[in-house]
């Protein structure tokens, strides 16, 4: 008897095996609002290769899908929602939208189908495509600087916008001013389904030096972010995933500093940052990796590891600080399990990293200084690549796309695990509030704090219809200090809110209201 299956039978079993871990697919989602009866009806189709029972969840957003804070205002949906729901066509969900009738807005509704199976991370990372990385980098390459390469810089911004939007990710352009110029952080987000306040970031800076085409620095990192966004955007995750192209890194990390100053929403907790800083240069030549002065003292194990390999530049450096060491271990284990051919040299910088200034030269550094976990994943920059910050930083013959794709694979696996990616699918649709005509625009909010009254803040609310809002105070690390419910009325504008006496530092006030989320920063200086 032959040990091998006949070819047709082999193909049958191979097909079945390949389909055993397919995620559900949601399609044809449509939203129809009946404002007279205050109901929203959703119709959708959902397919699952294994015909598994599914968990169906629904969220509604008033800000284009960037957050789904309105969900808490709505009663539980009825119909083909919850668990279990069988795959099929013409499924229907009904929601009571009474709480939305006083809001003048276009809403986004998201429907998620989860078959509650374990995620096959190996299958996911194997989809990283080095050919696509090269094709993307062929476009990205070119001077991207506001003074010497503004045209291509703007093309790069448009490319990131189109990429994130084309993946169905809500787009946020975070602007800031520096040296008379406007910087633009381009952000695509996938809000979490159950722990949206916890945020996992994958980032790279897309700008260059004045004379550099920036293939490695940092086109390689930029296309890595694009590839991870392409693959992870297909799946829901319990935590929020955020893909960021930072601007003006070469001007002193201006984009990431600005983002930490006013880009995060109050109450958000950064679970981990994966920062790509040059991931394409690779060499198997002995002594192609230079060791910085003092490196052997701070990192004796890494020095020994590199020396044992004849100082070859054939590895990725995973740089964490003390507070980020668990994140570093996650990356190391992800690489070992899913990309065993990738050599990783881990570094853990003591404290917040200031003891090693050379390792604070990228967009992970502001997160370290804010006590948030972050990694820098780098090929070593000028300690390996002699084209660094020169006109010779091009891709032809200089970058290794197998190495680059392996770095992306390990990062993809780590980010997916950290974000609690779900074995599911999702779809969105929009509907509009068409009830009557509103004579006043949407609410305007403001927060005032006075050091003379340390146990209270003042909420300013104008143009608001009668409604209840939630006001949360979080510290600079995103930890919630207190939360209060405030009932607004049409005659008052200022509402005094008692809070615990706050230690000096930066705080965020977040107002959740039926129309969305408002965030404002304030400082306690006493």
Q: Which of 383, 400, 432 is the last residue of a domain?
A: 432
Return the exposure string of 179-202: e unless at least 16 CB atoms fall within 10 Å of the residue's CB, then b: eeeebbbbbbbbbbbeebbbbbbb
Residues 394, 175 contacting (CB under 8 angstroms) = no
What is the average per-residue pLDDT within 278-288?
97
Q: Which of 378, 407, 432 is the last residue of a domain?
A: 432
For residue 520, the model assigns a pLDDT of 78
Name the phi and psi angles at 256, rounded to 5.
-70, -35
Q: Name residues whose C-beta falls within 8 Å of residue 266's C-beta, 6 or more positions apart in sequence.
A: 472, 473, 474, 478, 508, 509, 510, 519, 520, 521
Let me know whether 389 and 498 are in one domain: no
In the block, tokens 């003092």 appear at 294
Indicate whether 353 belongs to any domain: yes
Q: Are strands 239-246 and 195-205 parallel, antiparallel or unpaired?
A: parallel
CA 490/CA 511 separation, integer angstroms: 18
Residues 513, 495 contacting (CB under 8 angstroms) = no
Among 57-71, 210-224, 299-313, 427-441, the minimum mean pLDDT is found in: 427-441
Of 143, 60, 45, which Cα lies nearest the Cα of 103? 60
Laid out side by side, the sheet with 78-79 consists of 25-34, 39-47, 88-96, 78-79
Residues 185, 245 contacting (CB under 8 angstroms) = yes
Return the exposure string of 291-325: e unless at least 16 CB atoms fall within 10 Å of the residue's CB, then b: beeebeebbeebbeebeebebbbbbbbbbbbebbe
CA 504/CA 28 separation, integer angstroms: 52
Give tens-digit pLDDT for 307-340.
999 999 999 999 999 999 999 999 999 999 999 9
Tokens of 494: 């200022």
Q: Are strands 39-47 and 239-246 parallel, antiparallel or unpaired?
A: unpaired
The domain in which residue 493 lies consists of 444-524
CA 161/CA 187 separation, integer angstroms: 8
DSSP 276: E
For residue 11, the model assigns a pLDDT of 43
Let me know whether 169 and 277 are in one domain: yes
Of 296, 281, 252, 285, which Cα lies nearest the Cα of 381? 281
Number of residues that make up the chain: 526
For residue 526, the model assigns a pLDDT of 62
For residue 441, the model assigns a pLDDT of 46
Give tens-digit pLDDT for 1-33.
333 344 344 444 444 444 457 999 999 999 999
Let me know whether 144 and 205 are in one domain: yes
Q: Could you tell me the pLDDT band of residue 436, with boundaries at 50, 70 and 90?
A: low
Indicate whether 301 belongs to any domain: yes
CA 75/CA 77 separation, integer angstroms: 6
Let me know whether 479 and 377 are in one domain: no
Q: Could you tell me the pLDDT band of residue 98, with boundaries at 50, 70 and 90?
A: confident
Higher pLDDT, 266 or 267: 267
Indicate whether 128 belongs to any domain: no
The dihedral over CA atoms of 124, 129, 132, 133, expressed in degrees to the nearest 10, equals 90
Let me know whether 258 and 172 are in one domain: yes
Let me know whether 277 and 158 are in one domain: yes
Let me know whether 395 and 451 are in one domain: no
Let me know whether 37 and 148 are in one domain: no
3 state SS of 252: coil
- CATH number of the domain residue 184 falls in: 3.40.630.10
Indicate whether 125 belongs to any domain: no
* Residue spans of beta strands (DSSP E) within 207-291: 239-246, 269-277
Residues 215, 399 contacting (CB under 8 angstroms) = yes
Residues 43, 29 contacting (CB under 8 angstroms) = yes
Of 123, 111, 126, which Cα lies nearest the Cα of 21? 123
Report the DSSP beta bridge partners of residue 272.
200
- CATH number of the domain residue 73 falls in: 2.60.40.10
Indicate whether 80 belongs to any domain: yes
Indicate whether 438 belongs to any domain: no
Let me know whether 342 and 202 are in one domain: yes
Report the DSSP beta bridge partners of residue 289.
none
Q: Which of 383, 406, 432 is the last residue of a domain?
A: 432
Give tens-digit pLDDT for 329-383.
999 999 999 999 999 999 999 999 999 999 999 999 999 999 999 999 999 999 9
Let me know whether 325 and 370 are in one domain: yes
For residue 467, the model assigns a pLDDT of 65
Q: Based on the structure, what is the number of domains in the chain?
A: 3
Let me know whether 458 and 519 are in one domain: yes
- CATH number of the domain residue 488 falls in: 2.60.40.2550
Give tens-digit pLDDT for 456-509.
888 888 766 656 788 888 887 778 888 888 877 766 778 888 888 888 888 888
CA 221/CA 444 separation, integer angstroms: 39
Indicate whether 211 belongs to any domain: yes
Half-sphere exposure of 394 (CA within 13 A, CB side): 4
In the block, tokens 């992870």 appear at 232
Higher pLDDT, 232 or 478: 232
Neighbours of 472 (CB within 10 A): 19
For residue 466, the model assigns a pLDDT of 53
DSSP result, 446-478:
EEE--TTSTTEEEEEEES--SEEEEEEEEETTS
Let me know whether 480 and 338 are in one domain: no
CA 87/CA 50 separation, integer angstroms: 10
Asked whether residue 134 carries a pLDDT value surpassing 80, the answer given is: yes
In the block, tokens 């169905």 appear at 168
Indicate whether 127 belongs to any domain: no
């Amino acid at each position: 008897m032959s040990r091998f299956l006949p070819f047709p039978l082999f193909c049958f079993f191979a097909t079945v095996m390949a389909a055993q871990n397919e995620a559900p697919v949601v399609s044809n989602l449509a939203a129809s609002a009946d404002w007279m009866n205050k109901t929203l009806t959703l119709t959708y189709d959902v397919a699952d290769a294994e015909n598994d029972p599914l968990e169906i969840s629904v969220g509604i957003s008033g800000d284009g899908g960037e957050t789904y804070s309105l969900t808490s205002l709505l009663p539980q949906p009825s119909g083909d929602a919850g668990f279990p729901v069988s795959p099929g066509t013409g499924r229907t969900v009904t929601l009571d939208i009474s709480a939305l009738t006083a809001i003048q807005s276009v809403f986004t509704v998201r429907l998620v189908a989860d078959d509650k199976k374990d995620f096959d991370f190996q299958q996911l990372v194997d989809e990283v495509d080095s050919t696509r990385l090269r094709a993307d980098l062929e476009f990205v390459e070119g001077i991207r600087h506001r003074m010497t390469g503004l045209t291509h810089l703007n093309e790069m911004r448009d490319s990131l916008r189109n990429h994130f939007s084309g993946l169905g990710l809500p787009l946020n352009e975070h602007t800031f001013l520096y040296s008379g110029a406007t910087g633009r952080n381009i952000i695509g987000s996938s809000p979490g389904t159950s722990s949206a306040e916890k945020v996992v970031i994958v980032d790279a800076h897309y700008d260059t030096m004045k004379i550099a085409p920036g293939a490695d620095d940092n086109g390689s990192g930029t296309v890595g972010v694009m590839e991870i966004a392409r693959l992870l955007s297909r799946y829901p995750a319990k935590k929020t995933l955020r893909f960021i192209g930072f601007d003006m890194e070469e001007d002193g990390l201006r984009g990431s500093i600005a983002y930490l100053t006013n880009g995060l929403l109050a109450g958000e907790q950064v679970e981990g940052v994966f920062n790509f800083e040059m991931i394409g240069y690779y060499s198997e030549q002995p002594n192609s990796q230079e060791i910085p002065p003092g490196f052997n003292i701070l990192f004796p194990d890494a020095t020994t590891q590199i020396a044992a390999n004849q100082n070859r530049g054939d590895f990725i450096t995973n740089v964490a600080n003390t507070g980020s060491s668990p994140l570093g271990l996650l990356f190391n284990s992800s690489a070992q399990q899913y990309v065993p051919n990738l050599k990783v040299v881990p570094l853990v910088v003591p404290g917040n990293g200031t003891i090693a200034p050379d390792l604070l030269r990228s967009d992970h550094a502001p997160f370290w200084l804010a006590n948030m976990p972050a990694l820098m994943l780098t090929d070593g920059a000028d300690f390996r690549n002699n084209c660094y910050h020169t006109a010779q930083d091009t891709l032809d013959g200089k970058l290794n796309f197998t190495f680059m794709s392996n770095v992306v694979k390990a990062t993809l696996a780590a980010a997916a695990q950290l974000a609690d990616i779900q074995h599911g699918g999702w779809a969105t649709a929009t509907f509009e509030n068409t009830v009557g005509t509103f004579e006043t625009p949407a609410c305007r909010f403001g927060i005032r704090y006075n050091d003379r009254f340390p146990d209270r803040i003042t909420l300013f609310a104008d143009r608001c219809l009668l409604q209840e809002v939630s006001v949360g105070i979080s510290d600079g690390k995103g930890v919630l200090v207190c939360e209060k419910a405030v009932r607004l009325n049409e005659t008052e504008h200022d509402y005094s809110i008692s809070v615990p006496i706050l230690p000096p530092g930066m705080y965020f006030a977040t107002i959740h209201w039926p129309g969305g989320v408002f965030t404002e920063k304030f400082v306690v200086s006493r």
